[in-house]
Amino acid sequence: RIPPFHESSVSTSPVESNRTRSLVHYDIFSLLSRLSDVTNADVAAAIEFPHLRRVDLANTRIDDDAFSGLPDSTNSRISLNLTNTNVSAIELTRTKFHSVYIGLNQFSPRELKMIREYTLVHVGERFPDFE
């Protein structure tokens, strides 16, 4: 399981802040993208971390419950790779992430149109590597 994330572990010094944020972001990104048994609770805890920008959740067993407790406004900075997951189109319209990467034929054309009203959608594209 992924340990809880605490904002207090991020330095407030302007010089250290960017470096620390990058390191913390990389650690969380690495953990999530390498775990095959990521749970809904792990995802919910990680997404609430204020400096997280991208999360690769492809081929995990997460579903709508991972995002059900999140307020809409906290998600607009995050890009997710949701290829081959069980997250519904309705949940993606509610949570309004910055962008989502999904697999070909993961959603119907009607569902894609609905998601695109709220979120930037990348269908069948490669999820970007960590910068």
- pLDDT, tens only, 56-96: 888 888 899 888 877 665 577 888 899 999 999 998 888 88
Tell me if 100 is assigned to some domain. yes
Task: Detail the DSSP E strand segments found in the chain.
Answer: 54-56, 79-81, 99-102, 120-123
Tell me if 19 is assigned to some domain. yes
Interatomic CA distance for residues 53 and 29, integer angstroms: 9
Tell me if 6 is assigned to some domain. no
> Between β-strands 79-81 and 54-56, what pairing exists: parallel, antiparallel or unpaired?
parallel
The residue type found at 107 is F
pLDDT band at 43 (very low <50, low <70, confident <90, very high): confident
Tell me if 50 is assigned to some domain. yes
Q: What's the total number of domains in the chain?
A: 1
Q: What is the CATH number of the domain that holds 110?
A: 3.80.10.10
Tell me if 21 is assigned to some domain. yes
- b/e string for 87-108 if b means 16 or more Cβ within 10 A? bebebbeebbbebbbbbeebbe
pLDDT at 30: 52
Q: What predicted TM-score, i.e. pTM, was given to this entire model? A: 0.70
Tell me if 4 is assigned to some domain. no
Range of the domain at 81: 11-123
